[in-house]
Amino acid sequence: MVPAPASAATLVAPSREVLDGLRARIGQMQGTPPPERGFPLSSAFEPLLPGGVLGHGRVYATPHALSLAVGLVAGASAQGAWCAVAGVPDFGVEAALAAGVSGERLVLVPEPGAHALAVVSALVDVVGVVIVGPGLRLSAGELSRLQARLRDRSASLVVVGDWPQPEARLRTQAIRWSGLGRGWGGLGAREVEVVVESRGAGRPRGWLLRVDAEGRAVGSSALRDGAGARTGRIGGERGPVLVPAGASSVSSPPERWAAAR
């Protein structure tokens, strides 16, 4: 609440309340402070995000990495939040269940089509967390209306694509699969190098996310050199593959096909 401006006649030292109000306003103008309240994250994802929660009213972007988006919402879903997935027609339901998402509270809207914004807004009204595919195109006005709605409903949005100024942006930098060789074995556990750019947190930080053979994120640890150049061994049989720093090194097949089709 912003108090009414005091007239000169009644000018007194501003109360603590007034100061707090002004500070909050300045904070809003400068950019939103890290979320104080939000949905719980699964323990592997907790260190990755500011505040250790999936903030109410915040937007997170996981360009090209559906499993990261699913990992972000798994904690909220397991704790009772409804989860909706819009605009991801090839969403792997079983992978989501394995990651900890509850099938009892999962709703899919594969083809929101021309109504995408209206659909996402309606979903935000009733479910806690919404994952949206990369197809959502919004004007600046629509964007701010949607974000206002998110704040109003205390919902969280995870975009499997890019987003202007998200609360945090999670990119997959490298994936090291175990178990698969040249002609033998099969995909098993994996280690995912994730670069997290959080708003107001300075330079991006690198994390190593460990995912077991069932697809559940079991732990994470900070990478020493953050988002610096990393070497990644793929499949354990080939020599190291140099992955350039920062760049989105992992392309997203389905999006590319969508463009090719």
Partner 1 sequence: MSGPVRTMAVLAPGWVVDAAARRAGADPDGLIAISRGDRILAASAAAAAAGVEEGIRLREAQYRCPELVLLAEDEGTAMRDFSPVVAAIEDAVPGVQLLRPGLLLVRARGAARYYGGEHEAAGRLAEALLAAGSRTARVAVADGPFAAQTALRFTSAVRPVLVVSPGRSAEMLAGLPLSVLDEPELAALLARLGVSRLGELAALDEESVAARFGQGGRIAWTRASAREEEGVVPRVVPPEWTRTRRFEPAAERADEITFRIRTDAEELVAALLEAGRVITVLRVVIVTEHGEQDRLWRHPRWFRPSDVVDRVRWQLQGSGGAALEAAVAELRIVPEGLDAAHEHQRGLWGAGGQERVSGGLARVQSMLGHEGVLIPHLSGGQALADRVRLLPWGEAPAEGEDALRERRSRPWPGRPVGPAPSRVLGAGPAVVVCDGDGAPVTVVGDRLSAEPQQLRLGGADEAVTAWAGPWPVGVRWWEGQAARFRLQLLTAQHNAYLLTGSSHWHLEASYD
Is residue 66 a contact point for partner 1 (CB under 8 A)?
yes
**Contact between 93 and 70 (Cβ < 8 Å):** no
**Contact between 181 and 235 (Cβ < 8 Å):** yes
Q: What span, in angstroms and rounded, lies between the C-alpha atoms of 53 and 31? A: 18
Q: Is 100 left (phi over 0), alpha (psi -120 to 50) or beta?
A: left
In the range 154-173, which residues lie near partner 1 by CB under 8 A?
172
Q: Among 188, 200, 219, 240, which residue interacts with partner 1 (rule: CB under 8 A)?
A: 188
Binding span for partner 1 by CB under 8 A among 15-23, 30-38, 40-48, 95-103: 95-103
Is residue 174 a contact point for partner 1 (CB under 8 A)?
yes
3-state SS class at 146: helix
Q: Among 46, 111, 191, 197, which residue interacts with partner 1 (rule: CB under 8 A)?
A: 111
Task: Name which of 41, 37, 93, 40 is nearest 67 in CA terms.
Answer: 93
Binding span for partner 1 by CB under 8 A among 51-59, 136-144, 163-171, 245-253: 245-253
# chain residues binding partner 1, by CB under 8 A: 70
Is residue 6 a contact point for partner 1 (CB under 8 A)?
no
Give the number of C-alpha atoms closer than 13 A to the C-alpha of residue 21, restricted to the C-beta side.
10
**Contact between 189 and 178 (Cβ < 8 Å):** yes
Residues present in the chain in total: 261
3-state SS class at 217: strand
Please give the single-letter amino acid code of residue 228: G
> Smallest gap, in angstroms, from Cβ of residue 188 to partner 1?
5
> Smallest gap, in angstroms, from Cβ of residue 51 to partner 1?
24
> Smallest gap, in angstroms, from Cβ of residue 259 to partner 1?
8
Binding span for partner 1 by CB under 8 A among 5-13, 25-33, 138-146, 212-220: 212-220
Q: What span, in angstroms and rounded, lies between the C-alpha atoms of 245 and 133? A: 25
Binding span for partner 1 by CB under 8 A among 44-52, 125-133, 142-150, 218-226: 125-133
3-state SS class at 58: coil
> Smallest gap, in angstroms, from Cβ of residue 78 to partner 1?
16
Positive or negative, the Cα torsion across 79, 41, 144, 117?
negative
Nearer to partner 1, 50 or 74 (CB): 74
Residues at the contact surface with partner 1, assessed by CB under 8 A: 64-68, 70, 82, 90-95, 97-98, 103, 106-113, 115, 118-119, 122-123, 125-127, 172, 174-175, 177, 179-188, 190, 211-215, 232, 234-238, 241, 243, 249-254, 256-257, 260-261
